[in-house]
Amino acid sequence: MNESGKYTIANIPGDGIGNEVIPQGQRVLEYLAELSEGKFEFEFTSFPWGSDYYAEHGLMMAEDGLEQLKAFDAIYFGAVGWENVPDHVSLWGLRLAITQNFDQWANIRPVHFYSGVKSALNYHDLESLDWVLIRENSEGEYSGFGGRNFTGRGPGKEIAVQSSVFTEEGCERIIRHAFEVARTRTRKKVTSATKSNAQQYGMVLWDEVFDRVSKEYPDVETERWLVDALAARFVQRPDTLEVVVGSNLIIDILSDLGSALAGSLGIAASANLNPEGRFPSMFEPVHGSAPDIAGKGVSNPIGAISSAVLMLEHFGLTEEAALAHRAIEQAVSDGNVTADLGGTLDTTQVTDAILANIAALQPALAKA
Ligand code: GGG
């Protein structure tokens, strides 16, 4: 916790259902602050950036947007992507503009298997599964180097080059982070997701760094898997996974697979961390803007609320984070969920149930 107990949060709901779920996470944070009786408080500032902003201003965020964001303790982000802006323009103009420029190099994506949620996995002990996927978030396939040329040669003759960049420092810091996370867990195991048989430069460097760093963590079990075989293992041997670390694109894909296997993309949380604290970190649900359900009030707020829980942990408010997490678990096991999880509640009603659970669990916590 910081000394003043006051945390400034920049809300960027962005596009589509980002505008529905971020206010729900804010409700939970505000309620916890109210219960703390002055121990801590949050001050929210909302930024209207996203695809609508682009339609008006030709930019996804204000020109001095990064300068404005620097002053905050954290960023709470919804989703980006809408039909009026090409996806690569909206992603690079907002989410990636923030993660790359603020060097939020560690993207933590827990995959939690909630009791009471129907999983696509045919596994006898789903509740024992609890993975953390760790995504390198600053380079790799998302380095943004490349170009297109030769359109002048006529139809069918254009070329495009997209280069991946793997730096030894970039690989080392995220791999080391994964080992540190593994050390906090009961089963200490890190799986490295790689594709070094085909990507013989960048991913061979990745593998070499993984092997070198792993020697410093003899207490942590390690393994390296080619991502194609690893994707199959997510389905066939889910019990063998614990902490999985990989490049930007690989973990982006595996984390969608993981949360779909855990029941829904709507429950997946993430933290984009700048662990050195030079810049604010950013917390966001893994899901996107979901145009198919946007505006209907039925989006699942759990991914966004769980991302707010990760923010609480980042602030050192660990008891409050645990309380909110238990309140979410309770709502899910009571069936107080949206349609993606087989329920009938709308977005606001799910949050109402979570707030009621916090109220009910809070006295027990105070006595503990
Ligand atoms: N809240 C996450 C979000 O909006 N994601 C949009 C997206 O397309 N992300 C791609 C990526 O993170 O690689």
Q: Please give the Cα distance from 262 to 111 (Å, whole number).
A: 7
| C-alpha Rg value of the chain to the nearest Å | 21
What is the 252 CA–ligand 1 centroid distance (Å)? Answer: 9
The protein residue with its alpha carbon nearest to ligand 1, atom 5, reads 288
pLDDT tens-digit series, residues 345-368: 999 999 999 999 999 998 765 555
Pocket test for ligand 1, best of 49, 51, 88, 91 (most atoms within 8 A of CB): 91
Give residue 3's pLDDT: 80
pLDDT surpassing 70 at residue 315? yes
Q: Name the percent of the chain lying above pLDDT 70.
A: 99
CB 243 within 8 A of CB 106: no
Per-residue confidence band for 1, with pLDDT thresholds at 50, 70 and 90: confident
Q: Is the Cβ atom of 81 under 6 angstroms away from ligand 1?
A: yes
pLDDT tens-digit series, residues 41-75: 999 999 999 999 999 999 999 999 999 999 999 99
Q: Is the Cβ atom of 16 under 6 angstroms away from ligand 1?
A: no
Residue written as tokens 């996470």? 25
Give residue 365's pLDDT: 59
Helices H / strands E in the chain, number of each:
12, 12
| Beta pairing, strands 281-285 & 269-273 | antiparallel
Q: Is the Cβ atom of 257 under 6 angstroms away from ligand 1?
A: no
Q: CA triplet 69, 71, 75: central angle to 5 degrees?
A: 45
Query: What's the rounded mean pLDDT across residues 286-315?
Result: 98
| Mean pLDDT computed over every residue of the chain | 96
Query: What's the rounded mean pLDDT across residues 228-254?
Result: 97
Per-residue confidence band for 250, with pLDDT thresholds at 50, 70 and 90: very high
Give residue 4's pLDDT: 85
Pick the CATH number of 1-105+264-368 from 2.40.50.140, 3.30.470.20, 3.30.365.10, 3.40.718.10: 3.40.718.10
Give residue 55's pLDDT: 97
CATH class of residue range 119-262: alpha beta
pLDDT tens-digit series, residues 74-92: 999 999 999 999 999 999 9
Give residue 135's pLDDT: 98
Q: Quick one: tokens of 330?
A: 């309770």
Nearest to 348 by CA among 329, 330, 331: 331
The protein residue with its alpha carbon nearest to ligand 1, atom 6, reads 288
Give residue 2's pLDDT: 80
What is the 288 CA–ligand 1 centroid distance (Å)? Answer: 6
Give residue 364's pLDDT: 61
The protein residue with its alpha carbon nearest to ligand 1, atom 7, reads 288
pLDDT tens-digit series, residues 120-164: 898 999 999 999 999 999 999 999 999 999 999 999 999 999 999
3-state helix, strand, coil split of the chain in percent (to 5) is 45, 20, 35
Q: Which atom of ligand 1 is nearest to the CA of 15?
A: 4
Q: Is the Cβ atom of 73 under 6 angstroms away from ligand 1?
A: no
Stretch(es) of the chain classified as CATH 3.40.718.10: 1-105+264-368, 119-262
Q: Is the Cβ atom of 136 under 6 angstroms away from ligand 1?
A: no
pTM: 0.96
CB 149 within 8 A of CB 111: no
